[in-house]
């Protein structure tokens, strides 16, 4: 048979082979669908247990009166949503991209002088102890405002205006949420009781 007279089927096969080669070169070949396998790992089990805990936490509060269940619902419902997302990510094996930066704790232990680190530890411990005694003597509503203002002003070296503004905003949020809305009782401070300044 002459070269110039080819059968139609042979011409179609040559065209198909040519298209396949060109598609392969251009990266247009159809990828095979990979089956997604759920990964049961220890973090996934832990996230699932946390999800069950918060679901029970929210469910048990549904029969409480409104003021009593508002606090666990305000915390539990967002945690249920976050736990669901975390379980899905763990089962799919989604991990955070590794960072080239050196871990913060390694930098801290390498750069910070041990004497300075010990000094900072004592300072923070002193603030915590002072906050505890402030609650004991003045009560939580007064102590939280006093603690925030003094920390911002003296430890954070912020201006008087910024320290006062942030303290007022934080205290109004605390008082409006926990005292007025949730109606949580806070005991009076020992000093307030002695001076007879309580309500």
CB 76 within 8 A of CB 54: yes
> Does 152 share its domain with 180?
yes
* Confidence grade of residue 5 (pLDDT, cut at 50, 70, 90): low
> Does 119 share its domain with 167?
yes
Mean pLDDT score, 162-173: 93
Q: What percentage of the chain carries pLDDT values higher than 70?
A: 70
Q: How far apart are CA 93 and CA 118, in angstroms?
A: 40
| Number of domains present in the structure of the chain | 2
In a domain, 171, yes or no: yes
> Does 83 share its domain with 158?
no
* Confidence grade of residue 20 (pLDDT, cut at 50, 70, 90): low
In a domain, 172, yes or no: yes
- Which position has the higher pLDDT, 114 or 2? 114
Q: How far apart are CA 190 and CA 137, in angstroms?
A: 5
In a domain, 176, yes or no: yes
Tens of pLDDT, residues 46-84? 888 888 888 888 888 888 777 667 777 888 888 899 989
**Residues 189, 168, 171, 197, CA torsion sign:** positive
> Does 68 share its domain with 136?
no
> Does 167 share its domain with 129?
yes
In a domain, 31, yes or no: no
| Integer Rg of the chain from CA | 32
Range of the domain at 55: 42-92
DSSP 105-140: HHHHHHHS-HHHHHHHHHHHHHHHHHHHHHHHHHBH
DSSP 51-64: HHHHHHHHHHGGGS
pTM of the model: 0.47
């Amino acid at each position: 048979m002459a070269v110039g007279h080819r059968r139609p089927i042979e011409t179609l096969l040559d065209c198909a082979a040519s298209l396949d080669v060109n598609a392969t070169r251009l990266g247009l070949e159809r990828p095979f669908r990979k089956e997604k396998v759920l990964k049961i790992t220890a973090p996934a089990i832990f996230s699932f247990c946390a999800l069950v805990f918060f679901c029970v936490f929210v469910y048990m509060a549904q029969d409480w009166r409104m003021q009593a269940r508002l606090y666990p619902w305000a915390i539990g419902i967002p945690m249920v949503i976050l736990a669901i997302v975390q379980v899905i990510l763990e089962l799919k094996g989604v991990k955070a991209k590794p960072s080239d930066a050196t871990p913060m704790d390694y930098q801290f232990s390498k750069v910070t002088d041990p004497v300075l680190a010990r000094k900072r530890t004592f300072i923070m411990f002193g603030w915590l102890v002072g906050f505890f005694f402030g609650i004991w003597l003045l009560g939580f509503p007064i102590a939280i405002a006093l603690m925030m203002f003094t920390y911002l002003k003296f430890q954070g070296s912020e201006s008087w205006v910024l320290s006062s503004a942030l303290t007022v905003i934080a205290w109004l949020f605390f008082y409006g949420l926990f005292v007025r809305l949730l109606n949580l009782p806070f005991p009076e401070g020992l000093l307030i009781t002695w001076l007879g300044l309580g309500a």
